[in-house]
């Protein structure tokens, strides 16, 4: 089964259960490499449908304080792009089958080599790639390399993206379209923009590609509400905060992921 088929199948299965896919984000190497490995396994075991793994970078422009902190810790732990590829390879060797997307910034990918990196993502067992600081119009070469190695390249739109450009980006994105919920950087928020639902409905009406919303989603209630409109919900900063504050991170992660899943199922059922 190709990467695109695996991704589509994941959304189809979630849709058949009447819910959106749960897509947690976590930074590789935070709070240390071994613990992050155990956390990602716990995320998968607790019901995540897809997992987004962050490649640490020194200048993460799209990320807020929480993810910035986690990436700095990971960098201090010596985590680099090679470590991240080995990390996913080890997950696959341990039997983890959940589809995995890398989320990384362009500079390390450019230095590694676009074709080489796309091939490495495929070979280690990754299904997709998200590069938030690479505009779709400038991603042609990387997108071609990803296609050649059956890696889905996902693009992002924001509330400030004009409707015409949204359509263009949706046509270029593969696997799903990443819809940024807020104007700004990542980070858990107590409330989401009041016009977010209207924005999502407008995007939904304009494309058939699965939509996944992220940035700012922090509570089971928010995930459940958003899951009524989109195909996937991405939760990152809130999950890292759970780990940061917990005395027993693995237990806390399992609890949080299950709370998210339960809320998303209950809301649809209700």
The pLDDT of residue 266 is 66
Q: How far apart are CA 121 and CA 123, in angstroms?
A: 6
The pLDDT of residue 183 is 72
Give the sign of the dihedral formed by CA 211, CA 125, CA 63, CA 164: negative
Contact indicator for 161, 209 with CB cutoff of 8 Å: no
Tens-of-pLDDT digits for all 270 residues of the chain?
Answer: 888 899 999 999 999 999 999 999 999 999 999 999 999 999 999 999 999 999 999 888 777 889 999 999 999 999 999 999 999 999 999 999 999 999 999 999 999 999 999 999 999 999 999 999 999 999 999 999 999 999 999 999 999 999 999 999 999 999 999 999 877 666 666 677 788 999 999 999 999 999 999 988 989 999 999 999 999 999 999 999 999 999 999 999 999 999 999 999 865 544
Q: What are the helix (H) ranges across 3-49?
A: 3-16, 33-45
Among the listed residues 5, 45, 59, 63, the single catalytic one is: 63
The pLDDT of residue 268 is 54
Among the listed residues 52, 133, 171, 231, the single catalytic one is: 52
Contact indicator for 85, 108 with CB cutoff of 8 Å: no
Q: How far apart are CA 96 and CA 16, in angstroms?
A: 22
The pLDDT of residue 213 is 95
The pLDDT of residue 189 is 61
The pLDDT of residue 63 is 78
The neighbour count for residue 266, using CB atoms within 10 Å, is: 12
The tokens 């259960």 sit on which residue? 17
**Terminal C-alpha separation, the chain:** 34
Q: How far apart are CA 176 and CA 179, in angstroms?
A: 9
Q: Which of 52, 50, 26, 48 is nearest to 39 (CA)?
A: 26
- The pair of three-digit structure tokens given for residue 151, joined into one six-digit string: 């890696």
Taking the C-alpha atoms of 108, 153, 42 and 74 in order, what is their torsion angle to the nearest 10 degrees? 10
The pLDDT of residue 182 is 75
Q: How far apart are CA 102 and CA 82, in angstroms?
A: 12
Q: Which of 128, 101, 203 is nearest to 161 (CA)?
A: 203
Helices (H) and strands (E) counted in the chain, each on its own, are 12, 9
Q: How far apart are CA 235 and CA 218, in angstroms?
A: 6
Q: Output phi, psi for 194, to 5 deg.
A: -65, -25
Q: How far apart are CA 229 and CA 151, in angstroms?
A: 26
Distance (Å) of CA 73 to CA 66, 230, 249 = 11, 32, 16
Specify whether 52 is catalytic.
yes
Contact indicator for 56, 76 with CB cutoff of 8 Å: no
Question: What global pTM score does this model have?
Answer: 0.93
Report the length, in residues, of the chain.
270
């Amino acid at each position: 089964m190709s990467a695109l088929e695996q991704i589509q199948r994941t959304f189809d299965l979630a849709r058949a259960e009447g819910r959106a896919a749960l897509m947690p984000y976590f930074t590789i190497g935070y709070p240390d490499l071994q613990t992050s490995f155990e956390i990602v396994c716990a995320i998968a075991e607790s019901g995540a449908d897809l997992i987004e793994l962050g490649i640490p970078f020194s200048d993460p422009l799209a990320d807020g304080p929480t993810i910035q902190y986690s990436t700095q810790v990971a960098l201090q732990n010596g985590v680099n792009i090679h470590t991240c590829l080995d990390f996913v390879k080890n997950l696959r060797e341990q039997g983890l089958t959940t589809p995995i997307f890398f989320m990384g910034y362009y500079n390390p990918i450019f230095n590694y080599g676009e074709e080489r990196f796309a091939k490495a993502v495929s070979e280690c067992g990754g299904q997709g790639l998200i590069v938030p600081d690479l505009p779709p119009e400038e991603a042609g070469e990387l997108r071609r390399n990803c296609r050649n190695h059956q890696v889905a390249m996902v693009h992002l739109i924001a509330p400030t993206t004009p409707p015409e450009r949204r359509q263009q980006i949706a046509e270029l994105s593969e696997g799903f379209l990443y819809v940024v919920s807020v104007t700004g950087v990542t980070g858990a928020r107590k409330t989401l923009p009041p016009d977010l639902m209207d924005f999502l409905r407008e995007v939904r009406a304009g494309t058939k590609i699965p939509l996944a919303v992220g940035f700012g989603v922090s509570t089971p209630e928010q995930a459940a509400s958003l899951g009524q409109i989109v195909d996937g919900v991405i939760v990152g900063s809130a999950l890292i905060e759970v780990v940061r504050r917990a005395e027993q991170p693995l237990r806390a992660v399992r609890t949080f992921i299950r709370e998210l899943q339960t809320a998303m199922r209950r809301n649809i059922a209700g």
